[in-house]
Amino acid sequence: MSGSSIFVFIFAMWILIIIGGGIAVLILAPITISGYGEEIDLIFSSVIKAVISIGLVVTWIFILSKIKNWIFRSKLKI
């Protein structure tokens, strides 16, 4: 695992990007809210999509941080 650890990190990063894109397109994009008026519906659905997207980004950063720490610990054998 001498030089391959960076490739593991990059592979994990790309997998998370692909999964995140799939979630955004297949699950978040179709979310619609109705019943509050046309303009308010758009604002509510946009806020919900933004909060979920920010949550996904925070989760992805947390996962990548854990992978990075795991790689460094295995390199330093701590």
Taking 70 as the threshold, does the pLDDT of residue 33 lie above it?
yes
* pLDDT tens-digit series, residues 37-54: 888 999 999 999 999 999
Please tell me the predicted confidence (pLDDT) of residue 18: 94
Please tell me the predicted confidence (pLDDT) of residue 78: 60
Taking 90 as the threshold, does the pLDDT of residue 6 lie above it?
no
- Cα(6)–Cα(14) distance, integer angstroms: 12
- The three-point CA angle 52-13-49 to 5° equals 10
As separate numbers, helices (DSSP H) first and strands (DSSP E) second, the chain gives: 2, 0
End-to-end CA distance of the chain: 15
Total residues belonging to the chain:
78
Please tell me the predicted confidence (pLDDT) of residue 4: 78
Structure tokens at 32: 């619609």
User: If we measure between CA atoms, which residue out of 48, 53, 9, 52 comes closest to residue 32?
Assistant: 48
